[in-house]
Each structure stands twice: as C-alpha cells, then as structure tokens.
Chains A and B, each alone.
Chain A
Amino acid sequence: MDIVVLLKQVPDTETLIQIGDDKISIKTEDVKWVINPYDEFAVEEALRIKEKHSGKVTILTMGPERAVESIRTGLAMGADEGILIDDPATQGSDALGIAKVLAAALKETGYDLVIAGQRAVDDDGYQVPAAVAELLGIAQVSLVIKQEIVDGKIRCERTVEGGIVVVEADLPALFTTQKGINEPRYASLPGIMKAKKKPLVKKTLADLGIDPSEVGEAKSGCRVKNLFFPPERSPGRIIEGETVEDKATELVRLLREEAKII
C-alpha cells in the first residue's frame, strides 16, 4: 500500500507570534519550527497502517528549505521517503493553490491512501485536504479518530458534534487526523541515523509541470489584507471575600448582573 502523508511545518505552539512590518505576514526570525501536531498523528497512523498491511510511507511537503528538518523527523519516525516542493512562485498561495501543487505531486508518486492533518495550526485553514481530495477526485473523510482497512475499503470513525459517525470508502481515499487517533512515537536514535540515508527529493513547479501563474499570490482567492492582535482581555478581577461562600455569592451576583447568564 502506498501511503502519502501531507506534512506541513509550522511554528511551535508555544512560539510568540510577532506581526511583520508589512502587516500581512509574521516575523519568522525567532520562530521555532515543528511538524504540525495533527500531521504528526498522520505520520504515526501511516506507520501503523504500513506495519499492518506493508507498503511504503512517503512524506510530502510544500514549503521552504527549512521544512527539510521536519521531513527528516518524519523519516526518523519511520517513513520511507520524503518529497519537498520548494518554489518561490508558490509564495502567497491560498489553500487551492497549495492543493494544486500537492495534487500534482501525488499524481506523480501514486497513492492508495493520503493522510493529512485536520488543520494546520499556523493558518488554521481547515481546507487543503478537502481541496486535494477534490482535485484528485477521491473520497475524503475528515476528523478521523479510528480507521480500519479491509478488502480495499477504509472504515473510519469521524467525530461530529455530539458523537461519532462511521463512514466507509473505497481506496484510494484521503482522511484527516484528529486528536485521539494515536500517540505519535518519538524518533529513536537509530531511526535518526537511518533517516539521513533515506531518499529526500526536492522538486520545483517546473518538475511537476505546473505553470507558476496557476498558483501563488496573484491566483489567491483568499488574501490576507491585515494582521492584528486580538484585543487584550482586560486584566481580570480576583474576587475577594472572607470565606469561600462569600466569594461564591459574589461570583454568582456578577454572573447574574454582568454576564446575565442566570
């Protein structure tokens, strides 16, 4: 089974985000970069599927040179190959632009199963995987917490408001991961050593036969015009009181009179 994981490198969730002087991008100098947490679940799930059904796990990333480090981490976890698509013309692409590039690469490598994160925690975009599935014309199942592959079909438990829906699809298919699907393994020392020798190919748009005018800022249908910090929450009030009961009474009064929820 050929499994491809869509992996994005994002700022660590602890990172202090600073807005750039252009007001439409963030400053990247002091950012610590990591694998998108949901994509880490995707790598882990791909490895588990491979362990059960055999096959090959490929990591596919569109991003700048520094993303090599995240791909290597995925290889050290146990993936077999990495592909980085690094091309300045992709700058400023929207989800559809990114998806066009990823879909073209997928068509080239071939795939039985594509696994992505439910969202990237940088743009919190929630839409690249659906666009990839659409461009490939394959089934998509999002927010999966459990899956099983039997007889060329994948059966997924997906979370919805208030419960779980079990969905079945024929392969090839794409699914996105959700917290709860697994606990990603750490890369072992031998894993890290082995990863250095695993194939990691770099490609440009030209290699994929994509016309640069098809992607990038100019083609973007969703353009950032302005980044700003959300209004600071006003420093809260610590409720004082002699006893716990006094504090409880005061809180209930505030909830009733200010928040008006009671």
Chain B
Amino acid sequence: MAQGVLVFAEQVDGSFRKIAYEVVSEGRRLADTLGETVSAAVLGSGMEGIAGELGKYGADKILVGDDPALVDYTTDAYTNVLFDIVKDNDPRILLLGASSQGKDLSGRLAARLGVGLAIDCIALKLDGEKLIATRPMYGGKVHAEVALEGTPQMSAVRSNVMEIVEAQKAGDVEKVAISPGVVKTRVVEKRLEAASKVDLTEADVIVSGGRGMGGPDYSVIEKLAELLGGTVGASRSAVDEGWRPHSDQVGQTGKVVSPNVYIACGISGAIQHLAGMGSSKYIVAINKDPEAPIFKKADYGIVEDLFEAVPAITAELKKLKS
C-alpha cells in the first residue's frame, strides 16, 4: 500500500534551489501529520557532495539518480527516471516545486502516472489521508481548495511560500539505478545570469518600477534593491516600452511572485499587475498620485515623486547600515 511522502528536490548546476528546501520542509510537515517518512529524489550528475544536505530539512532518505544524462534538465529523461522512482517507492504523496522546471516535469509526470495534479499551490493540508491543496485561480482573484485523487496524490507548490524548517533526520543517501530512456529534446546552450542574481520568483525583496520611471534608467531602484539584497522587477508598461526585459515583468502575463516585501515605484496598481504580486507579505507603494489604486493594496504608501522618495529611502538605509 502506498506510504510516505516523496519530494523532488530541484538542483541546478550542482546546487539545490531554494524551492528544494521548501518542498522537503513541507513534505516533512505532512509526513509528521501522517506519522510516515520523507524520501527526497535528487537527479543530476555528480550529486554525492550535496545530496546529504537534505537530511537537515527532514529527509529520512535521499534517492539519488546520478548520471551524465541527467546533468541538464530534459523533460523526457527526468520524467522517465522520476516515474521509475515513484513506481518503485509507491508514495502516498508526491511533491514538487512549481518552478519553471517543476511545472514542466510535474505536468508530464502526472499524465504518465494518470493522476490528478495541482500546480502552484500556496497551502497544503490533510483531511485524514486525503491531500487538499489551496491554489490561486483567475490571477489570484479567487482561491480554490482542491482535492487530489489517485496514487500518489500530487502537488507542485509555489516558490517562496512554504516555510523552510530545519529538522535533522537521518538523510541516508542511496544511489538508485536509472535509465533515462528515449530523450527527445537536447539542451544546446545555456545563457544564465550570474548566480548572484536572485530570480524574481525566489526573491525575498523586490523593488519594481513602472511607467512612472519615465525611461530605461532604473538606477535609483537598482540601488535600493541592491541595498536590500533584492531583485528588480517591472510592470508591463515598462516592459512594453522596452525599458526592461520581459523576464522582469510581474503580473498576470508575467511572473507571479510572493516576496516578503514588494516595493512598487511609479506603478498604478492595475488588476493584471496585482495578479502577479498581490500575495506578497508586505507591499510598499511609492506614487505621486494619491488616488492610485495601488495604495488600496499597499501596507505602506508614500505619496511622493519616486525620484525623490527612493533616493531618500536609500540614504536612510545607508545611514542605518553604517
């Protein structure tokens, strides 16, 4: 009979992503409720060094698929190998992160397993042995509680939402035999930014600039972001103007983010923008128009010209730090 929680812990270029710790921690929490164990699956090449780390967040067992064929993520190889691991371990619950990789992988794997799947979940709970997931729909205007049917019960959780909790467990590392099977896609090139740049979906602090920036010079908000250890985002208007790359866009047709603090500068607060950042823990709005709708959603609002307010905040922070 199906038992325990299996989590997929995502690594890129030999380091775990933050989401990996989040899913292991969440898996631990569910397993404790059930009185069962957590196994973490890690796929990649040369994973011996890092795999054990997951014990610190509550993995009882770490199943490592280590093979040069897994060095880069490909839908086919990862689905084939994870499918075999799921079949061999027969978990009650299967958790992944809803990163760009996790969404791609979980969608394909669920179809192969023939089970239901809830992607981008922001809360999980158990009703007896039944997994109930909460997920935003309609750009976050509505939340849905969904029940997962089938074995395993499968969910992919949104980045930056599940709490990372340290809970040292055995963390026994076990190498599993793998067969990547037929792989139909080849990674031919990778253009990744410096590892130091935190992706918007994983950022703790985001400072975003909208049309109020008036042009492509984002240096005032870049300075503030840097001081806060944050990442710079943008509204669609700023992206459409060509001031920022598409990958910076937050919103319904951009990234859905949930940082601790979101600072919106010169952004009016259109419904499609709110769809992307409405679940941030704290929202700060800086806008010169007191009637801007963003103020209705912001925890703290400053009615000022951003080119005066943002440097003043930066200066204040510098004072504090020195």
A residues contacting B by CB (< 8 A) are 11, 13-14, 17, 19, 26, 37-38, 94-96, 99, 121-131, 133-135, 138-143, 145, 155, 158-170, 173, 178-180, 220-230, 233-239, 244-245, 247-249, 251-252, 254-256, 258-259, 261-262
Contacts and interface: CB of A to CB of B under 8 A. Distances in A.
Given A143-B104, A223-B146, A230-B143, 19 more contacts: A19-B142, A96-B111, A96-B114, A124-B139, A126-B119, A130-B104, A134-B111, A141-B185, A142-B100, A145-B246, A178-B246, A221-B117, A221-B148, A222-B118, A222-B146, A224-B145, A228-B142, A248-B302, A252-B316
B69 to A, nearest CB: 15
B190 A163 contact: yes
A227 B117 contact: no
Contacts of B272: 13-14
Contacts of A131: 107-108, 110-111
A248 B119 CA distance: 39
Nearest to B182: A137
B301 A127 contact: no
Nearest to A165: B190
B205 interface: yes
B38 interface: no
Top-10 shortest CB links A-B: A221-B116, A130-B107, A180-B246, A222-B116, A163-B192, A139-B184, A248-B312, A127-B107, A131-B111, A161-B199
B304 interface: yes
B120 A239 contact: no
By DSSP majority rule, is chain B's interface helix, strand, loop, or mixed?
mixed
B320 A99 contact: no
A127 B132 contact: no
Contact of A225 (B116, B146, B295, B300): B146
Given A179-B246, A222-B149, A140 B189 contact: no
A259 to B, nearest CB: 5
Nearest to B145: A226
B298 A247 contact: no
Interface stretch (B24-32, B60-68, B85-93, B253-261): B253-261
A60 to B, nearest CB: 18
Given A124-B138, A254-B300, A224 B144 contact: yes
Contacts of B14: none
A124 B120 contact: yes
A125 to B, nearest CB: 7
Interface stretch (B47-55, B213-221, B279-287): B279-287
B175 interface: no
A162 B192 contact: yes
Given A160-B100, A169-B185, A230-B136, A130 B111 contact: yes
Contacts of A256: 320
21 contacts: A95-B107, A95-B110, A124-B136, A127-B110, A129-B107, A134-B79, A138-B184, A165-B72, A166-B191, A180-B247, A220-B149, A221-B110, A225-B132, A225-B145, A233-B278, A234-B299, A238-B302, A247-B312, A251-B300, A255-B261, A256-B320
B82 to A, nearest CB: 13
B101 interface: yes
